[in-house]
Each structure stands twice: as structure tokens, then as C-alpha cells.
Amino acid sequence: MKLNQATDYAFRAVYYLAGLPKGQLVEAKLIAEIEKIPLRFLLKILRSLAAAGIVESYRGVSGGYTLAKEPREITMKDVVEAVEGPIELNRCLTDPGECNKNHTAHCPLHQALFSIRQTLNKELASYNFADLGKN
Amino acid sequence: MKLNQATDYAFRAVYYLAGLPKGQLVEAKLIAEIEKIPLRFLLKILRSLAAAGIVESYRGVSGGYTLAKEPREITMKDVVEAVEGPIELNRCLTDPGECNKNHTAHCPLHQALFSIRQTLNKELASYNFADLGKN
DNA sequence: TATATACTGCACCGATTGGGTATACTTTGT
DNA sequence: ACAAAGTATACCCAATCGGTGCAGTATATA
């Protein structure tokens, strides 16, 4: 039960961008160096973040990346979901066909897992990238 | 970010055992049939649960499994940890050598993840197998 | 005391996912 | 036109997942 490495890299990249003056462009290469992330892998992650509307990308000579919204409007949950999709906890929860007991709705175990997932999502959503630094 | 299938099976097996009269032995074969779990895989999972002190096993002719403690004393967290080890969320949290920025302690991201993990663990620990049925 | 029944331990296996790279291409400022 | 950026797709190797095979051990009962 863990988040993957790409998500951790994404946290760092977004956190880095959040620390810059609003709208400032930074090339992936620089982020990769500072945050010690393999460049090509970072580029891939940044595309997911762009697709999710978390960062904006600009091509060409002085292109690069910048946040697509205020740091305060970006939560850890947003980043997790951008990179690895929504949290599932258990196959059955999202795809009833996967539950070989077919009782997603009635089973107390599934009810508990559902509730735990909600708590986890809320917790992740409670951290935004403006407040993260201020501890 | 999800629990694995073995953990889900373990939840069901423990939940099933928790619904029986205290101390009653049940063969794995029966649990497998009722809960629709591949027998050999279930046996493997039950060994993990036994090693963790959640179930007791008895060999030989009328052998089988029973809970090693009161359902109330067994939480979903216990079962998760028995089957797939402690929740990590992020490599760096457990093994600082894995963090290629080497700042587990100072990094606000890691602090947040640490706190989120705590919340998750508490949440999992708040569900015990005596109360699960009573909703 | 032989035997069938139930659990144990370890090794293996195919499929999927994770972490990352290669190659070829497109956009854009100078 | 060309160099510096990002884009798109496909691929690669290793680890993990979900499960099976096989050989062994304990034990109640005939």
C-alpha cells in the first residue's frame, strides 16, 4: 500500500513550481536537476500534470512549465489523481464485476473500505501547495 | 494506491471466522468455498494471519482455523499489516536512503505524507471485527 | 499402526505494473 | 533556418501480484 515514485516526483515538481513567482516559466531540465528526478521521466509526469490542468506547458525556445492555478488551489489529492488516477483501496469498490462475492453494497467490509477511502481522500485534499511550506 | 487482493481475501476470511461461535474450527476448504477464494491462495494467506497471531491453526484430521483472539481485538489495520506489511505511502518515509533528496526530516512534503499515513493507520485501526457486522 | 485429512514450506510461473529510456516529431524565439 | 524547448508513442527490464505445484508434517480415527 503505497504511492508510486512518479507521484512523489510530481509532489516535488509542483512544490518547486509553487515556490516561484507567479507565472514564471522553468524548463523541465532545471527542475530535474534541482529535484534530482530523471529528466525523461519527469517530462512524462509533467504531461500528466498538464493534462490534469495543474501545470501549463510552453514549447519552443524559452518555453517551460508553470503552475496553471494558484498554489492554494492545488492539493496533494489533485496531484495523486493526476499521476496515478483515483485511489481505489480495493478492486471491488470501483468495479463491482471484480468482486467475486458480488455484494459491494451490502458487505460491511466494503462499507468500511469505502469510508476509509473517503477519509484518505479528504486528508489528501486538506494539504494545498500554498500552505505546505508554512510549517 | 490500493490494497492487494490477498488483503481483501484476508478481510473476508477473518470476518467469516469472527461470525462463528468462539473457538470453532473451520477447514480452509470451507472458507474458500463460502468466500469464493482460491483454496491454495487462501492457505497461504492464512499462514500470514497465523504468523501475525490473528488466527490459530490446527493440523490433522479435524483440524482447521479459528481466531486467535476476540473479534473486538482484531482491527482492519492488523489484517492489512499481517498480509502486506506496514503501510508506507512513500519509499522515503521508511528508508531515508531511498530518498534521493535526503531530506526526509525537513521536507514539508514528507511531513505531510507522514501525517497522512498516521491518519490512515488510525482509521484502519478504528474498525474491529466485532463491530463491523453491526451496521 | 495405517491411513486419510488437514495444515506447512518453498519454489515456481505467467501477467501486470513500476520506473525509466529511445526515437521521432512539433512548436517557437531569434 | 536552426536551436531550444515540449510532445507522442513505443519500448524495455525488474519487481510485484495473484496463484499453483510439490513434497512434507501433524493428528484423529479405524
Instruction: Please give the mean pLDDT across all residues of chain A.
Output: 91
Residue A92 has pLDDT above 60, yes or no: yes
Q: In whole angstroms, give the CA distance from residue A107 to residue A129.
A: 37
Mean pLDDT confidence for B56-84: 97
* pLDDT of res. A30: 98
Our measurement of the distance from residue A122's CA atom to the centroid of its chain's CA atoms, rounded to an integer in Å, reads 14
Amino acid identity for residue B12 in this structure: R
* pLDDT of res. A107: 83
Residue B131 has pLDDT above 70, yes or no: yes
Phi and psi for B124 in degrees, rounded to 5?
-60, -35
Sequence length of chain A is: 135
Residue B104 has pLDDT above 60, yes or no: no
Of A36-40, A72-76, B99-103, the one with minimum mean pLDDT is B99-103
Q: In whole angstroms, give the CA distance from residue B49 to residue B108.
A: 36
Is pTM beyond 0.75? Reply is yes
Question: Residues with Cβ < 8 Å from B27, sequence gap 6 or more?
Answer: B63, B64, B65
CA atom of B69 to C1′ atom of D11, Å: 51
Residue B93 has pLDDT above 90, yes or no: no
Kindly indicate the confidence band of residue A91, based on its pLDDT and cuts at 50, 70 and 90: confident
Mean pLDDT confidence for A101-125: 86
* pLDDT of res. A112: 94
Q: How far does chain A reach from its first CA to its final CA, in angstroms?
A: 27
- Per DSSP, B121 falls in state H
* pLDDT of res. B103: 60
Interface contact flag, B116 A76, Cβ < 8 Å: yes
Chain A environment of B133 (Cβ under 8 Å):
108
Residue A83 has pLDDT above 70, yes or no: yes
pLDDT in tens, B27-38: 999 999 999 999
Question: What fold, for A5-125?
Answer: Arc Repressor Mutant, subunit A (1.10.10)
Amino acid identity for residue B82 in this structure: A
Place of cell 476476540: B70
Higher pLDDT, A49 or A103: A49
Nucleotide nearest residue A5, measured CA to C1': C19
Across chain A, the runs of DSSP E, i.e. the strands, are 55-58, 64-67
CB nearest A89 (choices: B3, B112, B132): B3
* pLDDT of res. A14: 98
Q: Is A86 exposed, middle or buried (0-12, 13-18, 19+ CB in 10 A)?
A: exposed
Q: In whole angstroms, give the CA distance from residue B64 to residue A2.
A: 33
| b/e A23-32 (16+ beta carbons within 10 angstroms → b) | eeebebeebb
Closest among A90, A112, A88 to A99, alpha carbons compared: A90
Chain A environment of B42 (Cβ under 8 Å):
none
Beta bridge partners of A89: B2
CA atom of B120 to C1′ atom of C6, Å: 37
